[in-house]
Amino acid sequence: MKYPMTKAGAQALEDELRHLKTVMRPQITEAIAEARELGDLKENAEYHAAREQQGMVEARISDIEGRLAAAQVIDVTTIPYSGKVIFGTTVTIANVDSDEEVKYQIVGEDEAEIKEGKISVTSPIARALIGKEEGEIVAVRTPGGVVEYEIIEVQHL
């Protein structure tokens, strides 16, 4: 199964993967070698800590490689503008009751970061917005009840 990911999200994972392989791996290997030189491995805290860190880094490398292999990278800037909300678009919406405006980019699950205005394509608000057009009113189920939003602007950034 392919998982949608923005071009920026894929680049961030590739950058992290490169860092883990070219910086972290050699550092950990060196730390293990230094700890081995200290003698008895049974009671060597530095050795055990380095091995534990090595396990975590290798697990993260494996995780990133799997995510990138299963990613369907979508560059929304190459998709003709239609005014519809699709994966990767940046959407400005206004609460119908309060007129409060917010701007979200709809991204893959791994990329979601609400503080940066990036919401997962699987979130309730994104699911309500996908396929709708500028000017439409959408109802979003929230823990506090149904909230209506008007789609102000859809951008392919």
Of 30-34, 109-113, 151-155, which one has max mean pLDDT?
151-155
pLDDT digits (tens, 9 = 90+) for 116-131: 999 999 999 999 999 9
Measure Cα distances from 87 to 13, 21, 62, 70, 130 in Å.
18, 30, 26, 17, 7
Q: Please, which pLDDT band fits residue 47 given cuts at 50, 70 and 90?
A: confident
Select from 105, 99, 113 the least CA-distant residue to 147: 99
pTM: 0.80
Do β-strands 118-120 and 101-107 pair in parallel, antiparallel, or remain unpaired? parallel
pLDDT digits (tens, 9 = 90+) for 97-115: 999 999 999 999 889 999 9
